[in-house]
Structure 1
Amino acid sequence: MTQPGPRGRYGGRSAADRRAERRERLMTAGLELFGTAGYAASTVGQICRAANLSTRQYYEEFAGREALLIAVYDQVNAEAQAAVAEAVKNSAGQPLAERIKAALTAYALSTATDLRRAKVAYVEIVGVNAGVEEHRMATRARWAGLIRELMRAGAAAGEVPDRDYRLAASAYLGAVNGLLQDWCATPDRAPLADAVEELARISAALTG
């Protein structure tokens, strides 16, 4: 359970501003350590030193390492969701295959251009414990729902058959995450653009 932060103003800055800055510093340190050394090898003490904050300040923001990992993971996904929404908006009116490719490209560029973000999103978040895994699967379900929405829109426009795409969306999302997980874990990885092109080819099974 996090503790209340400081109240009042200090140095012309409100307590809320100071707390937001501390949280951002901890998030930045978490991304750096989880995305390089790895979650299992990163301690609260190391995170605090990287953020130049005390452990007391850490626990005012996060209940433990898991809470910070989830927060960093959620931030990566929230930014990816915004990028995908923009790509879908900008590709409106194009064929379904192009809309899916635009969404996929935005997703991959947002989550995997920075290898630290890719490692958090596809490697470090996996299998931590039952609670973290439940959170990851809920996030995955929301992404699968977005794919189903694209397919339903395509069906409404007569581009694909009108059927339940629940299993197809889950299978495709598994392919996306699996390929990007392997990609970021491979030392001699191919260019990210090649991974995106491969996933675009796989998406043809959805729209073909």
Structure 2
Amino acid sequence: MSAEQRLADRRERLMTAAYTLYAKPGFAATTIERLCSEARISNRAFYECFGGREELLQALHERCVEESLAVVAKALQEAPGTLDGKAGAGIRAYIEFATADWRRARIMHLEVRRSGDVLTASRQRAVDSFARLVEEATAELPESAAVNRRLVALGVIGALQELLIEWLLADRPPDIDELVEVAVHIFSRSLGGP
């Protein structure tokens, strides 16, 4: 392998290790030494890939967000052109993608908050990207003409985050269909739907 390929391989091994360790036991409890041990690289090699644990967490969070945005955008494009059609497709796509791997859900909804200021800027970019996606998807729908779609999008994003945190932490988590139903209800009602 070339030097560039070795660096890319180490970086990917660190991302894979962080995906599990940052999800559990969590960002605060995961040391660079533990990441390196899991990725089977030296501490020196870690710093060739990332400036620190925070930079690795940000790269991992941004990857999760990019993948989620792609899944939701595709679902919205294929959805019926109605409020319920768009809301149901986009919300279901997001919830199913987030919950398909508990590590993704934990990183995007728990560790993003637990990490303190580390992910503040990354989180705001993610929220803004999802809000724009919702705004664009509802722009042509007559049901959404009378309200500020950006504020509704932000409210639904907040509701989805809390629903997924409940799914992650509850002794008896709600099932996915129930999460989707509640989130669609909130979104639809926020735009004046039935």
Structure 1 unaligned regions, length at least 5? 1-12
Q: Output aligned runs, 1:97-116, within 5 Å.
A: 97-116=84-103
Q: What is the identity, as a one-letter code, of the residue corresponding to 2:99?
A: A
TM-score norm. by structure 1 comes to 0.85
Residue in 1 that maps onto 2:7: 19
TM-score by length of 2: 0.91
**Distance between the aligned counterparts of 1:166 and 1:98, measured in 2?**
19
Please tell me whether Structure 1 or Structure 2 has the larger radius of gyration of its CA atoms: 1
1:130 to 99, 117, 125: 117
Contact 1:97–1:203 (CA under 8 A) maintained in structure 2: no
CA contact (8 A) 2:58 2:118 kept: no
Q: How many residues align?
A: 192
What are the equivalent positions in structure 2 for 1:128-167 lying under 5 Å apart? 128-154=115-141, 158-167=142-151
Question: Which of the residues 184, 190, 193 maps onto 1:206?
Answer: 190
Provide, for residues 165-205 of structure 1, a one-character-per-residue CA deviation record: whole Å limited to 9, x for no partner: 22211111111111112221223212223212211121221
Deviation at 1:206, TM superposition (A): 3.3
Q: 2:157 aligns with which of 173, 193, 203?
A: 173
CA RMSD of aligned residues (A): 1.6
For each residue in 1:2-43, what CA deviation from the matched residue of structure 2 results, as whole angstroms up to 9, or x when unmatched? xxxxxxxxxxx2222222111111001001001121111111
1:125 partner SS:
helix
Determine the structure 2 residue equivalent to 1:186. Answer: 170
Partner of residue 43, structure 2 = 55
Describe the shift of the 1:131–1:37 C-alpha distance in structure 2 as closer, same or farther (beyond 3 A).
closer
Instruction: State the AA in 2 paired with 1:43.
Output: T
> 2:73 maps to which residue?
85
The percentage of counterpart residues that share the same residue type is: 32
- Structure 1 consecutive aligned stretches of length 4 or more whose deviation exceeds 3 Å: none
Shift of 1:159: 3.9
Aligned with 1:77: secondary structure? helix
CA contact (8 A) 2:62 2:122 kept: no
- Whether contact under 8 Å (1:152, 1:162) holds in the other structure is no
Q: For 1:35-54, what aligned pairs fall within 5 Å after superposition? A: 35-54=23-42
Residue of structure 1 equivalent to 2:53: 65
Distance 2:33 2:11 in 1: 15
SS of 1:36's partner is: helix
**Which digits, 9 at most, give the CA deviation of each residue in 1:38-90, with x for residues without a partner?**
11111111011111111111111111111111111111111111111111121
Please say which of residues 55-64 and 178-187 is displaced more in the overlay: 178-187
5+ unaligned residues in a row in structure 2: which ranges?
A: none
Shift of 1:163: 4.3
- Tell me how far apart the structure 2 counterparts of residues 163 and 203 of structure 1 sit (CA, whole Å): 12
1:118 equivalent in structure 2: 105
Distance across 2 between alignment mates of 1:35 and 1:130? 17
Query: How far apart, in 2, do the equivalents of 1:127 and 1:145 lie?
Result: 25
